[in-house]
Structure 1
Amino acid sequence: MDNIHQIFKASPTEGDVLATVIQVNGSAYRKEGTTMLIKQSGSTIGVLSGGCLEEDIKYRAETLIDGQSKSFLYNLKSEDDLGWGQGSGCNGEIRVLLEKIDASYQAHLEKVNEQLLQGRSILTVKKLSEDYEVIGYTVIVDDNNYWTKALNIDANMELKEMKSGIHYSKELSIYRYFQWFHPKPRLFILGAGEDGVPLCDFAYKTGFHVTVADWREALCSKERFPQADRLLIGFPHEVLPKALHPQDHIVIMTHHFERDKEILQYVLNRPFKYIGIIGSNRRTMRLLEGESVPSNVYTPVGLSIGAEGPEEIAISVMAQLIAVKQKVVTENGKQANCRTLVYNK
């Protein structure tokens, strides 16, 4: 889950400290771009490790003055209690950048959040000193509009292919930290039955923007789905054309054969990231009426873990959704090793 959306919801203000993992060597609990906010009160939003670094990071954050940044390297390789890994033996090193928020940086963060709420991805490029402190930055919106030009950016650079992390420019002889911020992935739960309730809750907690849609007003209510970002009441042909975007994730779970068929007629052969269909393969084949199953359709929905009941099924669906979002499930449905791909560098 990307902590940045939780952080923006907490409204970072002057005097707070933003902590960011900017470099990982070996394996670590979180990857580059992971953020944590340390409020002036001492409370925190987000985590950077399994709990072994947060207290030290909070202590170091107290030493910063407004507008100041510092970075610290933590060695997590030790298997005894003398290292920062507290005996975890994570076999990696992480560099954490601390930035104390002043009025200028607060305004910068608010602009980033505005763009994310509009569904745009943001790239921040920070020039770093030899001590990995911030000495300048550029902010780029997806369409290559620049907010500031404090840094020289090579026009030929494939920005969308740049991964979050530290990159050295031989031409400019400088280190720069690239970080992508992306809008929340969107999940549409089509069907407001009992099995949709835990799915909505888990999806919200793992960072999805969740919409629940159903034609039955008594089921599609805020009382049943308090964590839903949006509720849509109406038949599929009424709500789907206005609501769905190409990059959305969809789970079809109305338990109504004709409604599921109507939904599939609209979503099939469209470039949605994920289309999950609850029910057996035989039922799905009947819904498809002999058509082949597209690569973005997952049926039966969820990873095969022997799940039973609404909560377990929701967990299996979320595991599959996260794997698809993190690109560790191939087009033919084979599951890759998530931990290796996500954590090891």
Structure 2
Amino acid sequence: MRDLAVHLLRWQAAGIEYALATLTGVDGSAPRPIGATMAVDSAGSVHGSLSGGCVEAAVYELCIEVLETGVPVRKSFGYSDSDAFAVGLTCGGEVEVFVHRVTAAEFAVVEAALEVGTPVAWVRDLESGAVLAVRAGGAIGAGFDVDAADLAVVRQTQHMLDAGSSGVRVIGCADRERTVFVQSFAPPPRMIVFGATDFAIALCAVGRLLGYHVTVCDARRTFLDRTRFPAAHEVVVDWPHRYLGKTEVDGRTVICVLAHDPKFDIPVLAQALRLPVAYVGAMGSRRADRERRGELRVAGITEQQLRQLRSPIGLELGGRTPEETALAIGAEIVALRRGGAALPLSMTERPIHARQFYP
């Protein structure tokens, strides 16, 4: 939705109401991600795209209908493989779209959701069309009681914002149950690489390709020449454990320890394994891993915490070069993040594209 900010804010400044059509679910393949938005104003002007092909035409007509009636609509569009290419679904399947009208009473909520520089989640009730903008410190809504009855929605959304996740959720119970679509606008997740090695150079490139904000840190200034790490967003000269202790991490952060030197590895791993991060991996042989785990136990790390350590780091792809090793590490991170089995697709039976209508 933020890619339409210029148009939406212009309409709002002119007092023009409009309809927003949002992709809330994909089953199969589609060229646009969940959260993709198309906007149509009362004069019929359109901005944004959901998929291309005849989906756009059908959704446009739905937007015109919602603008006239004010009644929000949640609708699925399904296609077979034979006609999928005509509508932008490369392998067939189904998309779910939610359309609601944005009135003048909701303009302030939309402006809050479009605010750049502050993590914010944009929430829509999929039945009433009520809207909510949630930040870490509070919320502003139209159709939501953010101080009392809908506090559960605010809290759940704040948790999703912290994790940078989006999707459909059913929150509450009985007469206070709401089905909402939460779209988080959060900074890119972080990848922190410790150890200025050739493997780190390659991993920075893989991390950037996967959409991470990549930081490489090493205490040895000689090896941390900025020109060696063109793919890193930042390089930091500091002791790994000291830097980790003062930098910001969250539930999406991945930490990769590649120094292969106990005086660096043990202190930073002892710290990392106590943090609520998504992934902690360390490079080394199986023998080095056994010795490292023993030292971490001495440092007070519990068996449960040790089970979170991915060491030796990466999937077993058989690679040897820094680039092949970085690919194996990136593949393990993706598998963990997306719930993949890390097996050849030819050996599995489940759908290639997991269903994204989040329950």
| Alignment TM-score, normalising by the size of structure 1 | 0.67
Code of the aligned partner of 1:150: G
What is the CA–CA distance in structure 1 between the aligned matches of 2:197 and 2:132, rounded to whole Å?
46
Which of these residues, 169, 183, 206, is aligned with residue 179 of structure 1? Answer: 183
Q: Which moved more, 1:151-160 or 1:202-211?
A: 151-160
* Stretches of structure 1 lacking an aligned partner (at least 5 in a row): 1-6, 117-121
What is the CA–CA distance in structure 2 between the aligned matches of 1:336 and 1:302, rounded to whole Å?
24
Q: CA deviation at 1:11?
A: 8.7
CA contact (8 A) 2:121 2:182 kept: yes
Alignment of 1:144-293 (within 5 A): 145-152=138-145, 154-155=149-150, 157=152, 160=156, 164-165=167-168, 171=175, 176-243=180-247, 245=249, 247=251, 248-289=253-294, 291=297
Number of equivalenced pairs: 311
Q: CA deviation at 1:250?
A: 0.7
Residue 92 (1) aligns with residue 101 (2)? no
What is the CA–CA distance in structure 1 between the aligned matches of 2:249 and 2:326, rounded to whole Å?
23
CA contact (8 A) 2:84 2:92 kept: no
Residue 125 (1) aligns with residue 119 (2)? no
Q: CA deviation at 1:155?
A: 3.5
CA contact (8 A) 2:31 2:88 kept: no
Partner-residue secondary structure (3-state), 1:212: strand
Corresponding position of 1:3: none
What is the CA–CA distance in structure 2 between the aligned matches of 1:19 and 1:34, rounded to whole Å?
9
1:62-104 Cα offsets, whole Å, 9 max, x none, are 9989xx799795634312137755685533233265999x986
Corresponding position of 2:15: none
1:285-326 Cα offsets, whole Å, 9 max, x none, are 122336457121001111222233122222221121123233
Corresponding position of 1:54: 52
1:262-296 Cα offsets, whole Å, 9 max, x none, are 43343344443321011222111122336457121
CA 1:172 to 1:43, structure 2 compared with 1: closer, same or farther past 3 Å?
closer
Corresponding position of 1:4: none
How many percent of aligned residue pairs carry the same amino acid?
A: 18
What is the CA–CA distance in structure 2 between the aligned matches of 1:57 and 1:217, rounded to whole Å?
55
What is the CA–CA distance in structure 2 between the aligned matches of 1:203 and 1:275, rounded to whole Å?
14
Give 1 or 2 for the bigger CA radius of gyration: 2
Which of these residues, 131, 134, 150, is aligned with residue 140 of structure 1? Answer: 134
CA 1:146 to 1:262, structure 2 compared with 1: closer, same or farther past 3 Å?
closer
Corresponding position of 2:83: 81
CA 1:94 to 1:243, structure 2 compared with 1: closer, same or farther past 3 Å?
same
1:108-153 Cα offsets, whole Å, 9 max, x none, are 3443x4332xxxxx443224678xxx5x41112345x222343346
What is the CA–CA distance in structure 2 between the aligned matches of 1:246 and 1:175, rounded to whole Å?
26
CA contact (8 A) 1:192 1:220 kept: yes
Q: CA deviation at 1:173?
A: 10
Which of these residues, 22, 37, 44, is aligned with residue 20 of structure 1? Answer: 22
- Greater share of helix: 2
What is the CA–CA distance in structure 2 between the aligned matches of 1:104 and 1:32, rounded to whole Å?
26
What is the CA–CA distance in structure 2 between the aligned matches of 1:18 and 1:84, rounded to whole Å?
23
CA 1:215 to 1:166, structure 2 compared with 1: closer, same or farther past 3 Å?
closer
Code of the aligned partner of 1:211: T
Which of these residues, 296, 301, 305, is aligned with residue 317 of structure 2? Answer: 305
Code of the aligned partner of 2:52: E
Q: CA deviation at 1:252?
A: 0.4
Partner-residue secondary structure (3-state), 2:221: coil
What is the CA–CA distance in structure 1 between the aligned matches of 2:231 and 2:55, rounded to whole Å?
31
Code of the aligned partner of 2:192: F
Q: CA deviation at 1:61?
A: 9.5
Code of the aligned partner of 1:140: V
1:251-270 Cα offsets, whole Å, 9 max, x none, are 00113343223433433444
* Stretches of structure 2 lacking an aligned partner (at least 5 in a row): 10-18, 40-45, 161-165, 298-302, 343-347
What is the CA–CA distance in structure 2 between the aligned matches of 1:249 and 1:324, rounded to whole Å?
11
CA 1:211 to 1:174, structure 2 compared with 1: closer, same or farther past 3 Å?
closer
Partner-residue secondary structure (3-state), 1:139: strand
